[in-house]
Amino acid sequence: MLIGVDFGGTHVKAGAVEGGEVLRSTSAATGSSASPDDVLDLIASTVLRLTPEPEAVGVAIPGEVDAEGRCWRLTNVPGFAGVHVAAELSRRLGGCPIAVENDATSAALGERLYGHGREHPSFLMVTLGTGIGAGLVLGHMLYPGANGFAGEFGHLNIDRSPDAPLCACGQRGCVEAFAGTKALVRRFKELAGSEPNEVLPIAESARRGEAAGLTIFSAMGDALGRGLSAVQNLLDLNAIVFTGGISGSLDLAEPHIRSALRAHTFAPPLAEVPLLASELGERAGIIGAAYLTTL
C-alpha cells in the first residue's frame, strides 16, 4: 500500500493507494497563517492517521521542487523557499522515504499510469484554475525538468504588446493572464456587469448562448490554443489532457483551442492532437503522489 499526499496550499489530502485506486483517504485544513513547520506537522499527522508506520510517502505540493526534495518556493504559502520538504517529513515520519514533486507534475504521473497515459505515450496534462500549471510526460516517462520547472505552460508568452495583461508571475501576456480563473471572472464583470466568484456561472452563460459567456470561452480557448501551438511545434505530443475546475467546461473552449492550433502550428498533424479531459480528475493528485515513491 502506497501513501499519496496532495497539499493544495490550504488543505492536506492524503490517501492510501493500491492498483491506481484510493482505498481510503483523509483531509485536514491548514490555518491561513500556518508556518512551514505547522504545514509539515499537519502533513505528518494526516499520514499517521492513515497508517501508523508508513513505508514510503509521496507528496505533491503547489510549487517547484528540486531533485533532492527541496522547495524553490510556494506561490501561495510564505516561508517555504529553500525548505527541504522531503528531509523534514522523513524526520517526522520515522525516517521513511519521502518523494516530493510539483502538484501538476504529480497529477501527470497519475494520468500516465492509470488514465490517458496508458494509450498516449507523450502528453501534457494542463491544470486549469486560478493558476495554470502542467505536467509533462515524454515517451511514458515523467519529465520534471533539470530543476523541477518543466511544464510551466501557464507562463508561455502569447502577447508581447506592452499593454498585454499582467500575470501573477510579474510578466505580461502569459497564457494564465488570459485563461486563468481570475482573468475569466474579470472579463465577465466587464461584459455582463456581475462578478461571479467561480467559473460555473460563466459556463452557464455560454450554455444559454449569451454573448458574455461565449466571448469569454472563445478568448480562453484562443489563448490556450496559442500556447499549445508553441508546445506542439516543440514536442509533437500524442495528446493534451486537461484537469482542474474549468476542465468540466472544456467542450465550450475546445472549438476555439482547435482553431488556434490550426492557425498557429507549423504543420497540420500538430493541430489535430487529441484534446482530452483527465480520466482521473481530482484523484490524479493523490494517486500520482503515491507513485512518486516508485520512480
Interface contacts to Zn ion, rule CB under 5 A: 155, 167, 169, 171, 174
Q: Which is nearer to Zn ion, 99 or 136 (CB)?
A: 136
Answer yes or no: are the C-beta atoms of 286 and 14 closer than 8 Å. yes
Q: Which is nearer to Zn ion, 22 or 169 (CB)?
A: 169
Q: How far apart are CB 171 and Zn ion at their closest, in Å?
A: 5
Q: Give how far the C-alpha of residue 206 lies from the chain's centroid of Cα atoms, to the nearest Å.
A: 24
Q: Which is nearer to Zn ion, 9 or 58 (CB)?
A: 9
Amino acid at 206: A
Q: How far apart are CB 270 and Zn ion at their closest, in Å?
A: 24
Residue in the structure block whose three cell numbers are 473552449: 253
CA 175/CA 223 separation, integer angstroms: 6
Q: How far apart are CB 169 and Zn ion at their closest, in Å?
A: 3
Q: How far apart are CB 238 and Zn ion at their closest, in Å?
A: 27
Q: How far apart are CB 26 and Zn ion at their closest, in Å?
A: 34
* 3-state DSSP of the chain: CEEEEEECCCEEEEEEEECCEEEEEEEEECCCCCCHHHHHHHHHHHHHHHCCCCCCEEEEECEEECCCCEEEEECCCCCCCCCEHHHHHHHHCCCCCEEEEEHHHHHHHHHHHHCHHHCCCCEEEEEECCCCEEEEEECCEECCCCCCCCCCHHHCECCCCCCCCECCCCCECEHHHHHCHHHHHHHHHHHHCCCCCCCHHHHHHHHCCCHHHHHHHHHHHHHHHHHHHHHHHHHCCCEEEEEEHHHHHHHHHHHHHHHHHHHHCCCHHHHCCCEEECCCHHHHHHHHHHHHCCC
CA 192/CA 174 separation, integer angstroms: 24
Q: Which is nearer to Zn ion, 13 or 155 (CB)?
A: 155
Q: How far apart are CB 177 and Zn ion at their closest, in Å?
A: 6
Q: Which is nearer to Zn ion, 76 or 171 (CB)?
A: 171
What is the DSSP code (8-state) at residue 167?
A: P
Q: Which is nearer to Zn ion, 155 or 256 (CB)?
A: 155
Q: Which is nearer to Zn ion, 84 or 172 (CB)?
A: 172
Q: How far apart are CB 182 and Zn ion at their closest, in Å?
A: 12
Q: How far apart are CB 185 and Zn ion at their closest, in Å?
A: 17
Q: Which is nearer to Zn ion, 47 or 177 (CB)?
A: 177
